[in-house]
Amino acid sequence: MADNPNPDMDVMEPATPVKKKRGIVRRAFLVGGALLVGGGVFGVYWSDRSANARAKALTETGNDHNFLSWMKIAEDDTVTVYSPHIDFGQGTHTAMGQMLADELDADWSKVKVEQAPADLSFANAALGRGFLLSDSSMPGVINALPNAVMAMLARSMPLQITGGSSAVRFTGQVGMRVVGASGRLALIEEAADRLGVPASELTTADSKVVHAKSGKSLRYGELAAGAAERSLTGSPELKSAKDYKLIGKPVPRIDIPSKVDGSAKYGIDLVLPDMRVATIAAAPVRGGKLVSVDEKPALAVAGVEKVIKLDDAVVVVAKRYWQALKGLQALTPKFSDGGHGNLTSETIHAAQVKLCQTGEPEGEAGDGDVDAAFGAPGAKLVTADYRVPFLHHAMMEPFALTGHYKNGKLTLWGGLQDPLTTRDRAAKASGLDIDDIVFNPMIMGGGFGRRFPNVTEIIDQVAVIAKQVPYPVKLVWSREEEVRHGTYRPQSSSQFKASLGNDGRITGWRADYVQSDTAEGEVTFIYDIPAVSRRHFKYQSNQNDGPWRSVNSTQFGFYNESFMDELAKAAGEDPYQFRRKHLAEGSRHRAVLDMVAKRSGWGTPLPEGTGRGIAIVESFGTIVAEVVEATVKEDGRPKVLKAWAVVDCGTTVNPLNAEAQIAGGLIMGLSSAIGEEITIDKGAVVQGNFNDYELIKLADAPPQIDVHFIESGAKIGGIGEPGLPPATPALANALYAATGKRIRTLPLRDQAKA
């Protein structure tokens, strides 16, 4: 692999010292400083007795006992696991519970997982450490942390971020398992004292400590009070894979029953006494300001109580949502355009192309002399330009956040990806101290990157609105607000050039790409090519670029894997075999690629007009290869007939859920490939709802998706994001195979039409 930034480090053992490595981002050094001072993150966390005391105060209710913040055992044997990660549908809570309960030898039927309070005592040391040990995965997340949070990091590493497919990889492995294992040892010691037998004679199973010789046993609930007072070890021995009872097993998700009977309460569902509902219209052109608004037409609508002017938006507060919406629609606010009134998707594209051709790169990565490779005698040069549009997250639950300002404190309720940063942002926007902000995390109806607090203006909006009304107020964004004021996957352009040697091998590879942020540190380049150069040209439109499920790996999956297909064609080789020979012999990548070819029947005949496409992408520590079989419908649009995915994420914690995550990611990748596009006209977003922002529906999703996991035992990789990136190029490549049309601009729509 020419440039795989993943260091060969193991995050399994809590005591692993932090190693210095090159190329780490500046802020991560700050994190690293904190880590090194503490001599290992878990040590810092472990020894923080005041944090543990605080966690006890926040969670214990009388007949239960907290262990190390993240676990509580009640006298009736109920084990409560407090997850510092949010679950927005990716199954994290179940996985956290499985990992802790397995090490604890708990009876799974008595295990509950709850969202940890947004408090420093539940902060996630393991995440920061995991990030530091493999910074390839989420510098975007870490870089975006506000300074106040970074300052807290320097003290005690408190992170509650959910993102970068990090929960299982870092928190689960370095945190949950250790807490469970350590708790188990304390329960054994307590039982040994009570029974007057050596600890070595005791075993554990199903939430009981058993003394086989005497036939006596004690329930965890009976032992909890004493065990919780014991001194716990920070580095217990963890189970080996052969002894897992829950890890790796298809455990049903704990949240699903409440999601089929309507009882699950999402942020938008909150009801409080005297609560009012507000809705908002922000400046249509991002960067614009509210110039003026006549409030009277809204105030004339039944139920409307107040119109609030923000710097760049107008808000209507009413008793009910429908009243607030009617009030808002009665207004004719005037907004400025921030000087962006001439911007369109096409002017953005033209500026990006020009920058790429005549500008200076912001950064360059890769090894080897690409220009020499291009100039070598007999080199065959291939070029291609690609383009992707802004993409909207389209989480099904529109933003909703409730705020109540009372007695100098602001309390918030809603679903956001990082509770602690939410508090920080609310503090800044409200002018209050972070200690005067309480945040109650709720279930999220999707996220996909949209709910990171650093890109979430609704926090500022609620912080300001709540201080102007004497009652709790729930701000609900309409779908139109949601679509038009997104923090999109960036519109991006790229220009690729490569040289092929006489043996059909790639000798040089250059990728010039234009977007706001660098993709380095996140996008893993997997091919074995002697000279590689990736140059980032920085372009910022008026839009607020944000992380979108699998982040830069989406557009780079499309770019790299489309271009590999084009090179295979130029070399006169089969796309699978061509990729294969550029992946190291014996590598996990090659094994994944071979398996997807085998399972999909690669190379077997297909009917006329049907094609197979293949693509392989490594992201968030997981390698995924996908094959898509597709044809073109009468209207020229793609019809995906079947899809295969082969995944190496090291170990699957819950295969049932992992399969759903990979299949869901694959479908989201197809959706974005086929029809999704945010366009800009006069500086504003053109689309407004699901009638013009086109998402895939059941009829267009492949009825069968074959997902297969290779249990390589390698370091655990993410599962929420990596299924997405290969799907888009696999479909584009399938259409090429079916029609001979190479589509280089997304979305595909009817470009393959005959």
- Asked if residue 250 has a cis previous peptide bond (ω within 30° of 0), the answer is no
703 contacts other proteins (rule: CB under 8 A): yes
Question: Under a CB-based contact definition with an 8 Å cutoff, are residues 715 and 543 in contact?
Answer: no
Strand 705-709 to 638-648 pairing: parallel
Using alpha carbons only, give the angle 432, 436, 440 rounded to the nearest 5 degrees.
120
22 contacts other proteins (rule: CB under 8 A): no
528 contacts other proteins (rule: CB under 8 A): no
Six token digits for residue 385: 């330009």
Six token digits for residue 494: 């790229």
Task: Report how many residues bind other proteins under the rule CB under 8 A.
Answer: 76
**Which one of 58, 434, 695, 714 is in contact with other proteins (CB under 8 A)?**
695
φ and ψ at residue 558, rounded to 5 degrees = -65, -45
**Which one of 108, 122, 266, 602 is in contact with other proteins (CB under 8 A)?**
266
202 forms beta bridges with: 211
Candidate ranges 44-52, 73-81, 134-142, 692-700; the one touching other proteins (CB under 8 A): 692-700
Sheet holding 492-500, edge to edge: 363-365, 531-538, 506-515, 492-500, 380-388
625 contacts other proteins (rule: CB under 8 A): no
- Cα gap 673→160, rounded to integer Å: 32
- Cα gap 127→148, rounded to integer Å: 18
Count the neighbouring beta carbons within 10 Å of the beta carbon of residue 110: 18
Q: Measured from the CB of residue 404, what is the shortest distance to other proteins in angstroms?
A: 18
Q: Measured from the CB of residue 277, what is the shortest distance to other proteins in angstroms?
A: 7
Query: End-to-end CA distance of the chain, in Å?
Result: 39
C-beta closer to other proteins: residue 272 or 353:
272
300 contacts other proteins (rule: CB under 8 A): no
Residue among 219, 315, 313 nearest 276 (CA): 315
598 contacts other proteins (rule: CB under 8 A): no
C-beta closer to other proteins: residue 245 or 479:
479
Question: Under a CB-based contact definition with an 8 Å cutoff, are residues 411 and 440 in contact?
Answer: yes
- Cα gap 414→404, rounded to integer Å: 12
109 contacts other proteins (rule: CB under 8 A): no
C-beta closer to other proteins: residue 567 or 647:
647
Q: Measured from the CB of residue 662, what is the shortest distance to other proteins in angstroms?
A: 10
C-beta closer to other proteins: residue 260 or 754:
260
**Which one of 23, 33, 39, 257 is in contact with other proteins (CB under 8 A)?**
257
Question: Under a CB-based contact definition with an 8 Å cutoff, are residues 200 and 173 in contact?
Answer: no
**Which one of 148, 656, 686, 714 is in contact with other proteins (CB under 8 A)?**
656
Q: Measured from the CB of residue 480, what is the shortest distance to other proteins in angstroms?
A: 8
Residues 321-380 binding other proteins (CB under 8 A) are: 321-323
754 contacts other proteins (rule: CB under 8 A): no
**Which one of 126, 668, 719, 735 is in contact with other proteins (CB under 8 A)?**
668
C-beta closer to other proteins: residue 263 or 358:
263
**Which one of 3, 193, 206, 255 is in contact with other proteins (CB under 8 A)?**
255
Q: Measured from the CB of residue 710, what is the shortest distance to other proteins in angstroms?
A: 11
Contact string 446-475 vs other proteins (x = CB under 8 A):
xxx---------------------------
Residues 211-250 binding other proteins (CB under 8 A) are: 250
Q: Measured from the CB of residue 112, what is the shortest distance to other proteins in angstroms?
A: 18
Contact string 426-445 vs other proteins (x = CB under 8 A):
-----------------xxx
Residue among 353, 350, 380, 372 nearest 566 (CA): 380
Candidate ranges 113-121, 356-364, 563-571, 656-664; the one touching other proteins (CB under 8 A): 656-664
- Cα gap 626→670, rounded to integer Å: 12
Q: Measured from the CB of residue 130, what is the shortest distance to other proteins in angstroms?
A: 24
Candidate ranges 7-15, 72-80, 520-528, 703-711; the one touching other proteins (CB under 8 A): 703-711
| Angle between helix 552-571 and helix 655-674 axes, rounded to 10 deg | 70
Q: Measured from the CB of residue 394, what is the shortest distance to other proteins in angstroms?
A: 5
Question: Under a CB-based contact definition with an 8 Å cutoff, are residues 372 and 531 in contact?
Answer: yes
Candidate ranges 72-80, 230-238, 506-514, 683-691; the one touching other proteins (CB under 8 A): 683-691
Contact string 564-593 vs other proteins (x = CB under 8 A):
------------------------------
Residue 696 DSSP SS3: coil
481 contacts other proteins (rule: CB under 8 A): no
Residue 360 DSSP SS3: coil
Residues 626-655 binding other proteins (CB under 8 A) are: 652, 655
Half-sphere exposure of 20 (CA within 13 A, CB side): 6
Candidate ranges 495-503, 550-558, 632-640, 695-703; the one touching other proteins (CB under 8 A): 695-703
Using alpha carbons only, give the angle 624, 626, 627 rounded to the nearest 5 degrees.
165
- Cα gap 728→665, rounded to integer Å: 10
537 contacts other proteins (rule: CB under 8 A): no
Q: Measured from the CB of residue 101, what is the shortest distance to other proteins in angstroms?
A: 19
Q: Measured from the CB of residue 37, what is the shortest distance to other proteins in angstroms?
A: 39
Where do the DSSP E strands lie in 620-723? 622-632, 638-648, 680-681, 684-685, 705-709
**Which one of 36, 264, 310, 606 is in contact with other proteins (CB under 8 A)?**
264
Residues 157-176 binding other proteins (CB under 8 A) are: none
Residues 31-90 binding other proteins (CB under 8 A) are: 88-90
417 contacts other proteins (rule: CB under 8 A): no
208 forms beta bridges with: 205, 219
- Cα gap 310→202, rounded to integer Å: 64
Using alpha carbons only, give the angle 380, 384, 385 rounded to the nearest 5 degrees.
155
Q: Measured from the CB of residue 294, what is the shortest distance to other proteins in angstroms?
A: 23
26 contacts other proteins (rule: CB under 8 A): no
C-beta closer to other proteins: residue 461 or 687:
687
Residue found by looking up tokens 């090659």 in the block: 590
Please give, one letter per residue, the 3-state secondary structure of 153-173. Answer: HHHHCCCCCCCCCCHHHHHHH
594 contacts other proteins (rule: CB under 8 A): no
Strand 202-205 to 208-211 pairing: antiparallel
Alpha helical stretches, state H, 653-745: 655-674, 727-739
197 contacts other proteins (rule: CB under 8 A): no
Residues 373-412 binding other proteins (CB under 8 A) are: 394-398
Candidate ranges 118-126, 521-529, 661-669, 737-745; the one touching other proteins (CB under 8 A): 661-669
Give the single-character DSSP code of 747.
Answer: -
Residues 705-724 binding other proteins (CB under 8 A) are: 705-709
518 contacts other proteins (rule: CB under 8 A): no
Question: Under a CB-based contact definition with an 8 Å cutoff, are residues 416 and 451 in contact?
Answer: yes
- Cα gap 453→736, rounded to integer Å: 40
297 contacts other proteins (rule: CB under 8 A): no
| Dihedral angle sign, alpha carbons of residues 631, 637, 640, 645 | positive
